[in-house]
Amino acid sequence: MKTAHATCHLCEACCGLTVDIDGGRVTRIRGDERDPLSRGHLCPKGVALADVQHDPDRLRTPLRRRGDDWEPVGWEEAFDDVVDRLAAVQRAHGRDAVGLYFGNPVGHSYGAMLYGFAFMEALKTRNVYSSQSIDALPRLLTSFQLYGSQAVLPIPDLDRTQFLLVLGANPVVSNGSVMTAPDARRRLQDLRARGGRLVVVDPRRTETAALADTHHFIRPGTDALLLLAMLHTLETEGLLRPTALDDVLEGRERLLALARPFAPERVAAATGIGAAEIRQLARDFAAAPSAVCYGRLGTCTQAFGTTTSWLVDALNLVTGNFDRPGGAMFAAAAVDLPALAQRIGQRGHYARWRSRVGGLPEFNGELPVAAFADELETPGPGQIRALVLHAGNPVLSLPNGRRLDAAFGKLDFVVAVDIYLNESTRHAHYILPPAFGLENDHFALLFHALSVRNTVKFSPALLDAGPGARHDWEILLALTTRLLARRGLRGSLMAAGAEAVLGRGPRRLLDVLLRTGAYGKGFLPFKKGLSLAALEAEPHGIDLGPLTPRLRGLLAGRKIDLAPALFAADVPRVEAHLQAAAGELVLIGRRSLRSNNSWMHNSQRLVKGPARCTLLVHPDDARRRGLATGDRVRIASRTGAIEAPCEVSDEVMPGVVSLPHGWGHGRPGARLAVAAAHAGVSVNDVTDETRYDPISGASDVNGLPVTVTRA
């Protein structure tokens, strides 16, 4: 038996692992006490990594559809046929006739990220979609508009702040989201132990809210009204002071003028938070020695997602809680993500084109998933006729999953890069399964740049993937080079560059990025600078220190407009929401520490115990409908209806019901035995693809009007 160290790749927390391996099998996983970021913390998903690693339902060889069944096929034959069929569709119907969807796990693989860009360039389609327009697009668009790059992402300085205001986020369960913060529970407890305050604003009393000094229930979708009322209070009560960043800020007066109509007394009824409470919240935030407002999933997945994300940053900026200890800061990662984004053309761009049917704007070459179903179903030039699915399960994860499910079944060709035959990949003609988890090298390319403390770590593969296995980057490289060859580009500079540079593998690319980064030229104790070899000699990772001010360098002479015209123009729509009639009930989601979207449910240790796919209903709402815990209820919306067990709880505010996402297994053709036995229902069978934030196009899946009746 051997013991080695690695990094968990399942979520943004990037916890350090200590792994026991015997005979090629993982026998035990626990937290690495010497990891400088996670400090021994590990959640149940990290322990269950071994279950996925050795899951008998996990695919290990390529599969080709034969009627209603599947047959194994060799890699080279699969690559050739896949590319021939993709190229044939594009020749017959145009480049945009092939769609591409990237799921969340792609962001957790540095090889998939780096080589995915090359594949997108080779495919040359405008029909590119990803999970980011479900959960992160408003945040990215805000950074692009304010700071000039989607990769310049402010992170709460969690370990030093004295006042943390959390809107629509649950870091105790997520361990951060666009905030890498393993063991967030302990970090929040430390905040309170040093005399700081934690305030949570959420329609549900979350696990994070249970730790807070104060929790305010808020009506879903009204966070922008709350933030405008706080800005109103700060100005009218003279609580704003000069800040160290005033010389790089412009539009302050325009921002405050936009907030003036939103007195707390005017927004109280709409938000569900009393005017006196809003005023006190603003005063406490302004008076704290350091403070930071952090908004995440609930602030992004709503009708005002972009405006809310902007106002979160605006609040931090005008109160002087930006780019200073205890406020919103920027990680200084060993691989500088903003610099890399600039170098490879991923700084961002907006609305260079719009979706063919609904006119939704692209962002950085991607269309919002709210446009996906229309682009699949609507005939005409540019209709998606073939699809590449990479590590995603849109049938369970995107709005109106039933519509997507039906549309996928009508496509001319589907290829999936995935380890499972799941609810979406069951529609594929080929499934190309990559190596998984501890069979891969791991470097948290994205999440080191989102961390609450600067650290760096490289984890080499601990397990042999087996004869003939392919890593995700090898699959993407094979598809990329073959696509270029089919277009007669084998001898071109593009094809030669792809084969010469990318063919050396992601480790070589990573070494170059490390050597050319901020720590690459003389970093103690490595006098020759940080390199891949230096990292491999430090299996627990290296602590690079706390966050430090760096905004001015990131701006590179640019000023921050506090009231961009694109965002300011949305304020009248926010104001109109004051008069919007409240629906009878609205539906929000929730997440569990033992769940990872839709794809960890095939682990028995994670799904055992009481059912977690239940509808939370406030006692007042349950009493009006004659409902009790355990009753089967019908949840209906414009798009359809589902049934789930009722759980009566004052954890949600009156008028709000909550159902977790990621469930709905057991569909014909999928091969997930454990998940099928704990199927639950998919909340996305009732979410509505026609509801979205009009600025970004990001889906509005929190605050969905529903009716709830006894089934």
Q: For 290-340, what is each residue's pLDDT tens digit?
A: 999 999 999 999 999 999 999 999 999 999 999 999 999 999 999 999 998
Exposed/middle/buried for residue 89 (C-beta within 10 Å: 0-12, 13-18, 19+): buried
Signed CA dihedral, 586, 591, 592, 596: sign only:
positive
> How many other CB atoms are found less than 10 A from the CB of residue 238?
8
Phi, psi (rounded to 5 degrees) for 77:
-65, -40
- pLDDT for the residue 523: 58
Go through the domains of the chain in sequence order and give each one's CATH number: 2-53 (3.30.200.210), 63-127+343-505 (3.40.50.740), 157-323+557-568 (3.40.228.10), 583-710 (2.40.40.20)
- pLDDT for the residue 526: 57
Prediction pTM value: 0.97
> How many other CB atoms are found less than 10 A from the CB of residue 654?
14
The amino acid occupying position 407 is: A
DSSP string, 528-575: T---HHHHHT-TT-EEEES----HHHHHTTPPEESS-HHHHTTHHHHH
Q: Give tens-digit pLDDT for 448-466.
A: 999 999 999 999 999 999 9
Q: How confident is the model at residue 517 (pLDDT cuts 50, 70, 90)?
A: confident
Residue 76 CA to residue 78 CA, distance in Å, equals: 5
Residue from 678, 52, 70 nearest 419 by CA: 52
Residue 657 CA to residue 531 CA, distance in Å, equals: 50
- Cβ neighbors of 242 (< 8 A, separation 6 or more) are 320
**Average pLDDT estimate for 697-701:** 97
The tally of CA atoms less than 13 A away on the side-chain side of residue 446 is 21
Please state whether the peptide bond connecting residue 525 to the residue before it is cis, i.e. omega within 30 degrees of 0: yes
- Cβ neighbors of 576 (< 8 A, separation 6 or more) are none
Share of the chain above pLDDT 90, in %: 90
The amino acid occupying position 141 is: L
**Average pLDDT estimate for 471-478:** 96
- pLDDT for the residue 491: 44
What beta strand segments (E) does 168-274 contain? 197-201, 214-216, 249-250
Structure-token match 């769940």, residue found: 595
DSSP string, 322-379: BSSTTSEE----SS-HHHHHHHTT-S--EEEEE-TTT-PEEETTB--GGGHHHHHHS-
- Cβ neighbors of 561 (< 8 A, separation 6 or more) are 145, 146, 250, 251
Phi, psi (rounded to 5 degrees) for 623:
-65, -40
Q: Give tens-digit pLDDT for 522-576.
A: 655 556 789 999 999 999 999 999 999 999 999 999 999 999 999 999 999 999 9
- pLDDT for the residue 237: 98
Query: Do 373 and 404 touch, CB atoms closer than 8 A?
Result: yes
The 3-state DSSP class for residue 99 equals strand
> How many other CB atoms are found less than 10 A from the CB of residue 47?
18
Buried b (16+ CB within 10 A) or exposed e, 374-413: bbbeeeeebbbbbbbbbbbbbbbbbbbbbbbbebbeebbb
- pLDDT for the residue 524: 53
Q: Give tens-digit pLDDT for 638-647.
A: 999 999 999 9
Is pLDDT of 490 > 80? no
Q: How confident is the model at residue 497 (pLDDT cuts 50, 70, 90)?
A: low
- Cβ neighbors of 101 (< 8 A, separation 6 or more) are 128, 129, 130, 372, 387, 388, 389, 390, 392, 394
Residue from 126, 671, 88, 127 nearest 412 by CA: 88
Residue from 287, 285, 230 nearest 259 by CA: 230
- pLDDT for the residue 181: 96
Residue 230 CA to residue 291 CA, distance in Å, equals: 14
- pLDDT for the residue 391: 97
Q: What is the mean pLDDT of the chain?
A: 95
> How many other CB atoms are found less than 10 A from the CB of residue 705?
16
- pLDDT for the residue 139: 97
Is pLDDT of 68 > 80? yes
**Average pLDDT estimate for 224-238:** 98
Instruction: Name residue 197's beta-bridge partners.
Output: 163
Q: Give tens-digit pLDDT for 167-205.
A: 999 999 999 889 999 999 999 999 999 999 999 999 999
Query: Do 421 and 431 touch, CB atoms closer than 8 A?
Result: yes
Is pLDDT of 475 > 90? yes
| Structure-model confidence comparison of residues 497 and 353, the more confident one | 353
- pLDDT for the residue 518: 85
Is pLDDT of 583 > 50? yes
